[in-house]
């Protein structure tokens, strides 16, 4: 049954889809946490859009869908499912030639990133590209391990601050992705390999497979990668910074 929606236009929302309501809720929460950091579950409204169904002998099944809302944060547009599946990389056009990005927003983002780079004593440059729904800032240089941090944690922190600061006071808003040395693409490959290994063990009879603790953005990648895999389900467990993805047998 769908829960009542709060009448509040000043909210941040994210949607999740999965084989079960639990999986759909986990995915939606991971999306929201990827934008704003750790959430207090008591302050988030969860709206069940569809409880889903298994159908008959696998035919006519429907995915469960939920929307999570956090009041008090203004955004221009809701994120689509295709956006959720993309955490890095873009076929975007350079904003300096197209002018798609608000000039003030681009100036803020560039200034912030250059200050962070300088404070770390790094010799690097910043390039900003603009897609329809997100802005990607790529850091190029030598020895960027300090900027990236362990499992991308430092870069994720910079990305989080960039999303807060860049559009403050402006009418428009886009998701900002920070990347360096194509780290995010390489990390996605690692996460997908880990997910494949866990899913294989579960399908061979293991009840649960527990991945190492990871950030909300990385957990979301795993959820989305495995959401259509037959015979398994995923959910998140634990508190930050030790929250992790659990892969389990479907219906267990």
User: Same domain for 15 and 134?
Assistant: no
- What does pLDDT average to over the chain? 78
User: Same domain for 39 and 119?
Assistant: no
User: Same domain for 49 and 174?
Assistant: no
User: Does 6 map to a domain?
Assistant: no
Strands 64-71 and 11-18 turn out to be antiparallel
- Give the number of domains in the chain: 2
User: Same domain for 171 and 191?
Assistant: no
Q: Are 248 and 233 in contact (CB under 8 A)?
A: yes
User: Same domain for 133 and 167?
Assistant: yes
Region 203-223: what's the mean pLDDT? 91
Residue 14 binned pLDDT confidence (cut-offs 50, 70, 90):
confident
Domain range enclosing 43: 11-84+185-249
Name the CA dihedral angle for 212, 218, 222, 223, rounded to a multiple of 10 degrees.
Answer: 110
Strands 175-180 and 134-141 turn out to be parallel
- φ/ψ (deg, to 5) at 110: -65, -45
Q: Could you give the angle at the alpha carbon of 14 between the alpha carbons of 42 and 113, nearest 5°?
A: 100
User: Same domain for 163 and 139?
Assistant: yes
**Entry pTM:** 0.57
Which CATH number goes with the domain that contains 243? 3.30.1370.50
Provide, rounded to the nearest whole percent, the portion of the chain with pLDDT above 90.
Answer: 38
Q: Supply the pLDDT for residue 192.
A: 96
Q: Of the candidates 132, 162, 181, which is a domain's last residue?
A: 181
Which CATH number goes with the domain that contains 134? 3.30.300.20
């Amino acid at each position: 049954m769908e829960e009542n929606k709060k009448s509040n236009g000043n909210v941040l929302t994210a949607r999740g889809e999965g084989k079960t309501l639990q999986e759909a809720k986990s995915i939606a929460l991971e999306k929201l946490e990827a934008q704003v950091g750790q959430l207090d579950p008591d302050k988030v409204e969860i709206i069940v859009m569809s409880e889903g169904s298994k159908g008959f002998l696998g035919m006519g099944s429907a995915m469960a869908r939920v929307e999570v809302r956090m009041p008090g944060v203004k955004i221009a547009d809701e994120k689509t499912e295709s956006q959720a599946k993309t955490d890095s990389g873009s076929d975007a056009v350079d904003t300096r030639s197209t002018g798609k990005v608000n000039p003030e927003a681009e100036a803020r983002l560039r200034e912030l990133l250059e200050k962070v780079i300088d404070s770390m004593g790094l010799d690097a440059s910043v390039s900003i590209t603009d897609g329809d729904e997100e802005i990607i800032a790529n850091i190029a240089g030598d020895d960027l391990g300090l900027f990236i941090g362990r499992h991308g944690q430092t870069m994720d922190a910079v990305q989080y601050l960039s999303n807060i600061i860049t559009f403050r006071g402006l009418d428009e808003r886009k998701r900002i992705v920070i990347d360096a040395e194509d780290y995010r693409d390489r990390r996605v490959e690692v996460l997908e390999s880990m997910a494949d290994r866990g899913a294989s063990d579960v399908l061979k009879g293991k009840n649960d497979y527990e991945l190492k603790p990871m950030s909300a953005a990385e957990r979301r990648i795993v959820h989305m990668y495995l959401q259509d895999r037959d015979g398994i389900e995923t959910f998140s467990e634990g508190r930050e910074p030790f929250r992790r993805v659990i892969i389990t047998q479907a219906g267990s």
